Chains A and B, each alone.
Chain A
Amino acid sequence: MAEILARTVEVTRKYGDVTALDQVSLDIRAGEVVGLLGPNGAGKSTLVNLFAGLRKPTSGRVELLGGSPTDPARRRGIGVTPQETGLPPTLRVGECADFVAAHFPDPVGRGELLDRFGLGDLAKRQIGGLSGGQKRRLAVALAFIGRPRLVFLDEPTTGLDVEARRTLWDGIRRFHAEGGTVVLTSHYLEEIEALAERVVVIGGGRVLTDDTMDAVRGLVGIRRVTLTASGLPELTGVLGVEQEGTRTHLLTADSDALVRELVLSGAPFADLEIRPTSLEEAFLTITGRESQAA
């Protein structure tokens, strides 16, 4: 079993009356690429912030590299992406990299780092003058500057064009191939699919699913069947129903069986459409199912 780099043990975090995380136990092992998925407000950022020492749990225990994440010495082994909107606009790209590098005992050289993220020509530019994509790349680069063992990447390629996104993914894969551990949060299934081996789905402050990529793919293989009908019979296997004007959306794991049953029932309908749900919808369905079961 690989070494555990970070873990939460029955961690609960509350903000006033709101419970952001509820009894979450999670291990991050060396060499893993873990995709952290969940709708907005699910508790993803709270979890990452606990690991990065930004917050303390209301109850339970958080460990990072064998100690507490609130101990600055432990944080030498991690890298975090800042939100690109917060990068100090008056500093130059190179200055910003040097500033962050000064916190680590053995940082990557500034030229090497900026080249790796396609920012080599921009070292002298003020951050305020960069494009959104360039800022995003700088933000991700900063996570790798201290030669971390474990990086937390929050929506690393949001706002990047396809080419920049592929370049960044290659960079993350290379880091992983050299033994690095990655915790990746994203809304986008595509990004998680491209990189992660293990997927943790969080919803309502709890771990709903923690499994391999393949297993989770099957789990979120939910289809949306949309049709116009005045009255529908009782159908089996419907996970959720939404009404939008005259259109009815049915969420189901088995769209073939649903359509067969619908046709056999003889109920009149028109304009049948079947498509995969977005990840967000799938999660809402999973979350709903979990709370029904509870």
Chain B
Amino acid sequence: MSLVLTHARYQFLETVRVPIAVIGSAFFPAMAMLFFVVPFAGDNAVASTYATGSMVIFAVMSACLFTYGIGVAEDRAQPWDPYLRTLPAGPVPRFTGRIITVMGLTLIAIIPVLVIAAVLTEATVTVPQLLLGLGAILVGSLPFTLMGLSIGYTFSSKAAIVIAQVVFFPTAVGGGLLTGDPAYAPEFIKIVSPYLPTRGAVELVWAATTDFTPNPLALIMLAVWVVVFAALAVWAYRRDEGRRFT
């Protein structure tokens, strides 16, 4: 366990010493919030709370897909990564350490979104709702973490950039992250969204912060996605071992 924390600590240090990376992951969702949520739903308390939840999952997903997918693929190309595999530790500390690191970075990335929501919109939460919401975010980030790891351990860094982008947009839109209040979403989104991991994740956040009742199908699918991507990530990691080096 202490080794997990050691890995998390040093990965976090490595990341925050390049502050632009942290700023970058916070910038995108904050901008989306300013451009899409504030002008269109800012004056409606319910709509802007839903939209804030969506943007938070949007931020989490982009942080996960890009820092894991591309970050892991880039790390694998560095000789430091094979060196770490010679140390007396299995894959768990590095894997788990990375997950903790990105959870920390995610919490930093959503601060601007929350600040914008509080200052510029009518979105409201109580303190327990906010804490519950943060918990929901950490649970909801799991499938994207594992998705990012699968991509990172399977593809080269150049391919990982493309794959992450290709996966990112349809999953975000299809899950209804950009269509606001779920009751008024287009028919197509209503049909597709329960099957996508973004939906289950955002419904958890909505349920935590509003009186929204989540769709059991979306939550079951969220669990299914977690299992699928966990299996994929482990498979990709094992397969990666001993193949990459020349």
Contacts and interface: CB of A to CB of B under 8 A. Distances in A.
Given A52-B86, A102-B2, A146-B88, A82 B79 contact: yes
A90 B79 CA distance: 15
B82 interface: yes
Contacts of A88: 10, 14, 80
A91 interface: yes
Interface string B82-126: 110111111000000000000000000000000000000000000
A55 interface: yes
Contacts of B13: 90-91, 95
Bin the interface of chain A by size: 20 to 34
Interface in A139-164: 146
Contacts of A118: none
Nearest to A48: B86
A91 B71 CA distance: 17
B220 interface: no
Contacts of B186: none
Interface stretch (A68-76, A186-194, A277-285): A68-76
A103 interface: yes
Nearest to B9: A99
Interface in A53-89: 53-56, 72-76, 78, 80, 82-83, 85-88
A80 B242 CA distance: 16
Contact of A90 (B3, B18, B242, B245): B18
B88 A76 contact: yes
Given A85-B79, A88-B14, A91-B10, A55 B88 contact: no
Given A75-B88, A103-B87, A103-B89, A95 B79 contact: no
A54 B80 contact: no
Contact of A55 (B17, B87, B242): B242
A25 interface: no
Chain A interface main SS type: loop
A89 B117 CA distance: 37
Contacts of B14: 88, 90-91
Contacts of B246: 15
Contacts of A52: 85-86
Interface of B: 2-3, 6, 10, 13-14, 17-18, 78-83, 85-90, 241-242, 245-246
Interface of A: 15, 45, 49, 52-56, 72-76, 78, 80, 82-83, 85-88, 90-91, 95, 99-100, 102-104, 126, 146
29 contacts: A15-B246, A49-B82, A49-B245, A52-B85, A54-B242, A54-B245, A55-B241, A55-B242, A55-B245, A72-B89, A72-B90, A80-B83, A85-B79, A86-B78, A86-B80, A86-B81, A88-B14, A88-B80, A90-B13, A90-B14, A91-B10, A91-B17, A100-B87, A102-B2, A102-B6, A103-B87, A103-B88, A104-B88, A126-B17
